[in-house]
Chain A
């Protein structure tokens, strides 16, 4: 059913349709509306059987999810920002134990200074935790990715983080197609845990592993997570058959065929970028967009296949809503590694620029993007730049610091 709906509510509808058996929640802006809506469904009896636990911290939220998932329940939680960092130890643990938990991360900056608005610092900090990470562009995609997330997680026994931009997607009202239960039931089979805590077949889960086998355990988790690169396109194809929509996937190209300049980005900013690219193309600029939906595992091959490096792509602009302090881009580094293994990129190495943008909720405007992309096309973009940085302000502070 087509509805005008808040992004968080759309996600709550999707999660409820997946029939989770345990939901744990700890409030943190901007994910609260999702668990509020799910709490209402459980308390009113429209979602059952399902246990909704109001826990005392995000660390407990992920820990409850670990226990519930290990006991064979389909399990969901949501968090953001400081909450994701606070549960970080358990985030790694859930992946190590191979538990197919699905978690929404309503992307938000990390303090200090404290900031409740959107960027990707939170999810990026957990990119190597062993979770699959999917980034939504729209409320519809956020909804769809949750349906796919349970499917992917349970098929691989790997947890999945669905990242959606805080406020921009969680609090904005958009038009979204809400599926019906029969469709979801057709798409998402009952959860069959790979290993479960069961008195009839007692197993010890979470034993200590020493140097003699730890590397092998880690290698196997890498191999298992990497299988998502084969699985996700299949899931997307099946999703299309059941729901009649093309949604999710590894990467999504936009006007890549003749693009000399390609801008790479994740999440909701892709909408603004596409609008800007439409304008620039109308002006005659040969420019395209590559949206990365699956960031972990990193779809290196799909990225290389999508980019027409050397024919004619010459320039890559990576727009990032987070960065590695003291280094630069995070997505850029992954992209470089992907291109390092690509024959075309070796012959025609593209010029790559990292643009850090939209930190702590700073709006990424079409005007700023236009100027930046004109600079890029003219070869005038620095390898690392910060969009709309108030250079005067930082200069004053830097000089004051030196004087002190």
Chain B
């Protein structure tokens, strides 16, 4: 979404209620015709970022396509909590096949629709970070390379949450998971080179790549709708905090996601044909400490002794993001110099 610096003094925050806006500016969720793609009754945990992200993203896609959407789901939390047989929370045609093949299955659906001349029906593939950046990565890259008419959405909660919080290729450095315990001289996940799938997607020069978080749901909706304006392969990477895996309070899901963006840990941007065309600038810059402190997966960085060395290293990573994507417009100062 194009950046516009607006402050709503009357609410005391950066959020704005849908009812204050005109119809065409309203969010999908505040609209009377929202489709409730993922409806109530599912079994997600309290404060689940993925359930929230999926509902907003898919409802926005449904609005953009006039309700003509087919969803393909990878195995994972989203699949398990939404379809315990014989129940389903999906109000759109939905197919689950395997953990590692959702992008390819989505390609198959798109191919069938093309052969049948039903290109008015659009296809969304979706999965968690494990299903996307690890086991489904080959299929994802193949789908990108062929430029199949699929929007793939990764709901990134930075580990294999469905199997009990094991490390994935998207787990950040120093984070505790069940397979990277907070023990030894280098507790938590190792520092690696990172596996930045949005950037890898851009390297495929597909028409549209964007990142988003559940902290800015209007932005998420806008990007999902924007993605549907393109034909070909599109990729949307959504940061979705997981209270269970991150050790954050369920009530803080939105706040934790916001701190990820405002610290520079998670850059929010969009790209077309391999070039960045827009970023969501940081409005209230915070240090990474403020973000890390909200989550028990980083508790070992603060107790018994503060691991300044590790925190500084994470801060350098965030600083690099800020510089690389130009997240800090002139004049925005760090508010919390923790």
Contact = CB atoms under 8 A, between A and B. Distances in A.
- Are these two chains actual partners, yes or no? yes
Contact of B108 (A24, A59, A89): A24
Given A53-B108, A67-B106, A207-B86, 17 more contacts: A22-B111, A22-B115, A55-B107, A56-B138, A66-B105, A67-B104, A72-B116, A73-B115, A93-B97, A198-B93, A199-B70, A201-B93, A204-B88, A204-B93, A206-B95, A207-B85, A208-B79
Contact of B115 (A24, A51, A55, A208): A51
A63 B112 contact: no
A357 interface: no
A56 to B, nearest CB: 3
Given A60-B142, A64-B111, A21 B92 contact: no
Interface of A: 21-22, 24, 49-51, 53-57, 59-60, 63-73, 75, 89-90, 93, 97, 197-199, 201-210, 213
By Cβ-Cβ distance, the 3 closest A-B pairs, closest first, are A67-B108, A56-B142, A73-B112
B169 to A, nearest CB: 18
Interface in B161-187: none
B85 A213 contact: yes
B111 A73 contact: yes
Contacts, number: 163
B121 to A, nearest CB: 6
Nearest to B110: A67
Contact of A49 (B97, B115, B138): B115
Contacts of A206: 73, 83, 95-97
A212 B105 CA distance: 28
B96 A207 contact: yes
Nearest to A71: B112
Contacts of B85: 207-210, 213
Interface residues of B, number: 46
B114 interface: yes
A73 B116 contact: yes
A69 B70 CA distance: 14
A26 to B, nearest CB: 10
Nearest to A64: B108
B112 A68 contact: yes
B94 interface: yes
Given A21-B115, A49-B117, A54-B146, A71 B109 contact: yes
A65 B139 CA distance: 13
Contacts of A207: 83-86, 88, 96
Given A22-B111, A73-B115, A208-B80, A67 B91 contact: no
Contact of A60 (B84, B91, B101): B101
A185 B194 CA distance: 54
B72 interface: yes
**Which of B72, B85, B104, B121 has its CB near the most chain A CB atoms (within 10 A)?**
B104
A18 B86 CA distance: 36
Contacts of A93: 97-98
Contact of B98 (A71, A73, A89, A201): A89
B146 A67 contact: no
5 contacts: A50-B115, A69-B108, A71-B70, A73-B112, A197-B95
Contact of B109 (A60, A89, A97, A197): A197
A21 B116 contact: yes
Interface in B51-101: 67-70, 72-73, 79-80, 83-86, 88, 90-98, 100-101
Interface string B113-145: 111110001000000000000000011011001
Contacts of B93: 197-199, 201-205
A209 B68 CA distance: 27
A53 B146 CA distance: 8
A204 B111 contact: no
Given A50-B115, A68-B112, A71-B113, A90 B79 contact: no
Contacts of B88: 204, 207
